[in-house]
Amino acid sequence: MEDQQANHEESLDPTQVLAKAAILADCEKLAAAGVTFVAVHFDGSGDSGVTEEVQCYASDEYIHDDSQPIKHDVSHLQQHFEALVPFGYENDCGGFGDVVLDVEARRISVERNDRFEDYSTTTYEV
């Protein structure tokens, strides 16, 4: 598992490297404010997508649609979180997911879920 993470870090483009550094640089301030997670949700399909507003959470875990955001202004991090949203998630059937900062662990994770179409074929003689 660590190899996959190391390999992915090596594949970050320069903009993503800067975005990651900028986000991690705010961890002390966020922790002092009682923030445990910072997240942005993305969703799209048919070549169109949207990235929601970055929000803060003070919970033991982050689960989109289950966790309740708290009031803490992190709008200055919006562009940095958006830089980490996976390219092409909105193409074809689309996809959705989250970019999540675990403040205490100082770790950023990206969860991407891709939608796809499938079909089943049945052949029989009559």
Would you list the domain boundaries of the chain? 2-114
Question: Where in 58-106 does DSSP place strands (E)?
Answer: 69-70, 95-102
pLDDT of residue 19: 97
26 vs 63: CA distance, rounded Å: 22
Q: What is the pLDDT of residues 75-100, one digit of tens each?
A: 999 999 999 999 888 888 889 999 99
pLDDT of residue 56: 98
Weakly modelled stretches of the chain, pLDDT under 70: 1-10
CA distances from 28 to 20, 36, 71 (A): 15, 11, 17
42 vs 91: CA distance, rounded Å: 13
Identify the DSSP state of 75: G
